[in-house]
Copies of this chain bind each other. A is one copy, B any other.
Amino acid sequence: MEIASMNNNDKNSSNIFTNGLLWFKSLYEKLFAKIIGIAKQFKKIGKDDPRRVIHSLKVGVALTLVSLFYYFQPLYNGFGVSTMWAIMTVVVVFEFSVGATLGKGLNRGMATLLAGALGVGAHYLASASGKVVEPILLALFVFLQAFATTFIRFFPQVKARYDYGMLIFILTFCLVSISGFRVDEIVDMAHKRLSTILIGASVCVIISIFVCPVWAGEDLHKLVANNMEKLGKFLEGFGDEIFKSAEVEESKDAKKSLIEYKSVLNSKNAEETLANFARWEPGHGQFKYRHPWRQYLKIGGLIRQCACRIDALNGYINSEIKAPEEIKEKIKETSKEMSIECGKALKELSNSVRKMNLPISADEHITNAKKSAKNLNSLLKSGINNWEEINLLQVIPLATIASILTDIVICVDEIGQGVNELATLAHFKKSNNKEITTKVVEKIELSNNNIIEGSRKVHDCSSHDVVITINESNMKL
């Protein structure tokens, strides 16, 4: 009995020991896996956009530079504790893109200047009115100013560009006017604060512009071009996949590239933010000051509209279409052509935007797509007599695909017009790669309403006469 119980005890304690060991091991493994996971995410985020690493380094350098003011006696003697404001400015103002940094820096500088002046004024006004009334008057000023400025922040125009400035305005006004109640050298304080803020903001702006700059305008430019390319890829892919039998297994990569367009649907916010930043930026590279950033937003809107149609089309990929072979073949060819030509047009437009060349061949593709749409139209009209035995139900998916594709042709045409406008506004050059042998000035007679005789209006663009104008002044370049 005793031996058995001892054995049992031994077993129990060794069990506890083993369990404890296992628990520690699993904890260690979990922790290790977590750390590995975070390290991988670090690597991925750095790899996705190496500019992020550079930006982090730039912030580190800027802060270290500004903090030198603290370490060196001669610099410190000049500004004293106000150096703090330089550090705060760098931390708060240094943003990823040049536009955002400049916007914030200018907002901060101007707001500090304006609010500082008003604050000093409020301080003198209050102090002139006697010791008893002074705090009451100051409190009233603070309340009224905070109320009015906070309300003004709700204005959409103000919110988009001057929100940060408004915040700093409230802050500085309060600090300066209230501090005046205690500190007598209020003007000296305001002056020191303003100069340290200017130093901090200048460091940010200089490093941001001259060390590996990230231009919001360039990002917007690329984003719009990439979005067009994504849609183009889908349409080209759709042209190939559209009537493939469901049995043929697609490669995963092909599928992935097809659904890339989904990200386009939600790009509005990113585009607007970038456009707001871009407007603060000076001329750089191919982009002059006052580059037509608004036009990018317009094109972006059209692209999203097109993406919406494509989303409707996406449901028909890999669908089995049971229509008779003869009809299938006929509709297939023209649909395929429409889709592929639209895809090519979008890719060409994307390319021309990216390289800032005139989109010459895109217009040809759009014309081709429109011709295909017209062909489909007459095909459906003429072929009808032979198709008496068909099952209407079987033709509906085909008809829907064709109909949505027609809508897409119209969308692509609009995008093409938008890009042409951009090319005129931003003075795109003619391409160096190709000889332009003929001026493509062609007036396409078929108005959109006639493409499919159902004569329905798509977003009220009842008749686009496509006139491709080539800016004469640019032809000379």
Closest to A309 in B: B312
Set of chain B residues within 8 Å of A265, measured between Cβ atoms: 304, 308
Determine whether A396 belongs to the interface, using a CB cutoff of 8 Å to chain B. Answer: yes
Determine whether A321 belongs to the interface, using a CB cutoff of 8 Å to chain B. Answer: yes
Contact call A319/B60, Cβ cutoff below 8 A: no
Stretch at the interface among A223-231, A400-408, A431-439, A468-476: A400-408
Contact call B139/A67, Cβ cutoff below 8 A: yes
In whole angstroms, what is the CA distance A60 to B266 when docked?
Answer: 37
Contact call B171/A91, Cβ cutoff below 8 A: yes
Task: Write the A32-71 contact mask toward B (1 if CB under 8 angstroms, else 0).
Answer: 0000000001100110000011011101110110011011
In whole angstroms, what is the CA distance A181 to B69 when docked?
Answer: 12
Range for the number of chain A residues in contact with chain B: 35 or more
In whole angstroms, what is the CA distance A67 to B138 when docked?
Answer: 9
In whole angstroms, what is the CA distance A394 to B71 when docked?
Answer: 83
Set of chain B residues within 8 Å of A150, measured between Cβ atoms: 55-56, 59-60
Contact call B139/A71, Cβ cutoff below 8 A: yes
Within 8 A of B (CB), among A383-402: 384, 387-388, 391-397, 399-400, 402
Set of chain B residues within 8 Å of A312, measured between Cβ atoms: 308-309, 312, 404, 407
Contact call B457/A319, Cβ cutoff below 8 A: yes
Task: Write the A160-175 contact mask toward B (1 if CB under 8 angstroms, else 0).
Answer: 0000000100110011
Stretch at the interface among A141-149, A212-220, A288-296, A343-351: A141-149
Given A269-B269, A393-B381, A393-B452, A155-B315 contact (CB < 8 Å):
no
Nearest-neighbour CB distance to chain B for A283, whole angstroms, equals 28
Closest to A180 in B: B70
Contact call B175/A454, Cβ cutoff below 8 A: no
In whole angstroms, what is the CA distance A393 to B452 when docked?
Answer: 8
Select A456's contact among B68, B266, B391, B397, beta carbons within 8 Å: B397
Contact call B171/A64, Cβ cutoff below 8 A: no
Determine whether A118 belongs to the interface, using a CB cutoff of 8 Å to chain B. Answer: no
In whole angstroms, what is the CA distance A318 to B460 when docked?
Answer: 11
In whole angstroms, what is the CA distance A352 to B154 when docked?
Answer: 31
Determine whether A120 belongs to the interface, using a CB cutoff of 8 Å to chain B. Answer: no
Closest to A57 in B: B147
Contact call B67/A142, Cβ cutoff below 8 A: yes
Determine whether A441 belongs to the interface, using a CB cutoff of 8 Å to chain B. Answer: no
Select A396's contact among B76, B138, B322, B454, beta carbons within 8 Å: B454
Set of chain B residues within 8 Å of A57, measured between Cβ atoms: 147
Given A45-B154, A71-B181, A400-B403, A454-B174 contact (CB < 8 Å):
no
Set of chain B residues within 8 Å of A167, measured between Cβ atoms: 91-92
In whole angstroms, what is the CA distance A291 to B416 when docked?
Answer: 47
Set of chain B residues within 8 Å of A321, measured between Cβ atoms: 454
Nearest-neighbour CB distance to chain B for A11, whole angstroms, equals 44
Interface centre among A45, A138, A392, A459 (most CB of B within 10 A): A392
Determine whether A151 belongs to the interface, using a CB cutoff of 8 Å to chain B. Answer: yes
Contact call B319/A455, Cβ cutoff below 8 A: yes
11 chain-A/chain-B pairs, Cβ below 8 angstroms: A45-B155, A52-B154, A63-B142, A63-B174, A64-B146, A71-B138, A84-B175, A380-B393, A384-B393, A392-B399, A400-B400
Other contacts beyond A265-B304, A384-B392, A393-B453: 8, CB < 8 A: A63-B143, A64-B142, A87-B175, A91-B170, A92-B171, A315-B457, A319-B456, A319-B457
